[in-house]
Every structure is written in C-alpha cells, then in structure tokens.
Amino acid sequence: MKRLLLLALVALAFGSQAQQNPDYYNKKQDYEYRSFPTRTMGSPFERYTHYQISARYGVAAPLGSLKDYTGGMAKYHYNLTGEFIYPKNWSFGVQFNYSYFKDRLPRRIYTDGTQDISSIETHSLGATSIHAFGKYHFASTNAPIRPYVMLGLGGTGMRNLTYYGYLEDGKRSFALSGQAGVGARFLFSKNGNLGADVQATYFYSPFKSDYLSNVANVSASAGLFYRWW
C-alpha cells in the first residue's frame, strides 16, 4: 500500500512536470544521439557529406560554326546530375547533358562541277556528354539560396547527321568536351530534401566534321533537386 502510494506520487510529479514543460517531452529529439546534447548541433546536411540528384530542362544557343550550321536555339536541352556534397563549400559529381540542334533548309540546288543536286537539307547535331565536375558553393549547405560556380570535363558522343532528303551523310564519334557554369539552388523548406536548381553553362568541344569545326553553346536550364544523406 505504501509502495503504491509512493508510485502514485512519483507519477503525479512526473505528469505535472511534463504538463509544465511540454516541449521537453513532445518535441522531436535528434534521432542520432539521444544521450547527447543535440539541440545546438547543425543539421546532418551541415555535418556530413551527402548526396544530391538534379534534373533540369532548358534552352541552348549555339555559337560559332554550330550556329552557322543549325541556326537558332536547341530543340532539346536537358541534363541530369548526381553529386556528393561536402559540408563546407565543395561538391563533386557527374553530369549528363543532352543537347539536340536541328535545322531544315528550304529546297535549293547545290552545284558541284557538272552535277546539280536539288534537295531539302536537314542539319542535326545530338550531343550526349558525360562530365565529371567540381562545384564551389558560396553559402552554407542549408542556406535557402546557395549559388555556385562549376567546372566540368569529360567526353561527348557526337551525332552529326546531315540529310539530303533521306540520304544521310553523317559522323558519329566521341570527342573531348568541357563546360563551365554558374548556378544556384533554392531549398523549398528549411533543412528540407527538395528544392529548385537553375544553371547557366558554356559548353565547348573541339569536335570536327565536314560541317563543324567545333561545338560550342551557351545554355540555361532549370529543374528540381533531391538531396539525402
């Protein structure tokens, strides 16, 4: 009986204490180190290397010989990125870009010596590139807006096809390429996993074919990213 009474008293004291300080009991603790004073610690994104994938879609404007060849903007431009983000300012990863430029010329006659060819010419370049890149970020990993500069180097599968009607004259080959860019990512919520990413890059490859002396373009793309640790 005495013991029961004692237990009831303890329970009452505990209950009232819990009622007076609801935060202490209801608020979510850091799930890693419960026995550790965690409240002053930063988010895991600020403490550990974490992962991020992003997908962007956008526009690309050709430059130089590519502009002469395909005219205006790219018909498709998108890229996918996977990267490791370090707690400080750096991140490293791989980026896939796909840019597709196409132009169709009106029917005209090409004269070569005693030969005349009348056809509709279709110019196209599909560039699938894989770049290993490094990024330097200008704000903390959990900042709502985090601008960055990037530099990537790698290779591109070039598919440079010129058609006269359906007659194909093409070159498919692999070429070195690189890109330099600036961008920023925007977190949708504080310490969240999801956000938006915008990027502007300059792409260059010393690819040569009968129609192109190099491939260069500037692009702008926007998309979403997801990060986890």
Partner 1 sequence: MKRISKSLLLLIGCVGLLAACERDPVKDLDPKDSQVFITNHSTTNFTGYKTFSIPDSVLVTQNDRSQKMVRSIDLIFIDQIIRNMTNRGFTRVARDKKPDLELTPAQITYTQSGYVPTFNPWYYDPFWGYGYGGGYGYGYGYAPYYSYYSYSEDYWYIRIADVKNIANNKASVVWDAQIRGDGIYDTSSVGPVVDAVFAQSGYLKAN
Q: With respect to partner 1, which residue has the nearer C-beta, 124 or 177?
A: 124
159 binds partner 1 (CB under 8 A): yes
Q: Which of 43, 65, 89, 128 binds partner 1 (CB under 8 A)?
A: 128
**Is 102 within 8 Å of 120 (Cβ atoms)?**
no
> Alpha carbon 219 to chain centroid distance?
13
Query: Would you say 215 and 63 are in contact if contact means Cβ atoms under 8 Å apart?
Result: no
Cα separation, 187 vs 227, whole angstroms:
10
Nearest by Cα to 50 from 92, 94, 84: 84
Strands of the chain (E only): list them: 50-63, 76-85, 90-104, 108-112, 115-119, 121-137, 145-164, 167-187, 194-205, 215-228
| Among the listed residues 54, 124, 141, 156, the single contact to partner 1 using CB under 8 A | 124
- Binders of partner 1 among residues 74 to 113 (CB under 8 A) are 75-76, 80, 82, 94, 96, 98, 100, 102, 104, 107, 109
Q: Is 118 in the site for partner 1 (CB under 8 A)?
A: yes
> Which residue in the set 43, 65, 119, 193 belongs to the binding site for partner 1 (CB under 8 A)?
119
Tokens of 60: 């690309």
Which of residues 77 and 146 has its CB atom nearest to partner 1 in the complex? 77
Question: Does 202 sit near partner 1 (CB under 8 A)?
Answer: no
53 vs 139, beta carbon nearer partner 1: 53
> Which stretches of the chain bind partner 1, using CB under 8 A?
51, 53, 75-76, 80, 82, 94, 96, 98, 100, 102, 104, 107, 109, 114-120, 122-124, 126, 128, 130, 159, 161, 163-167
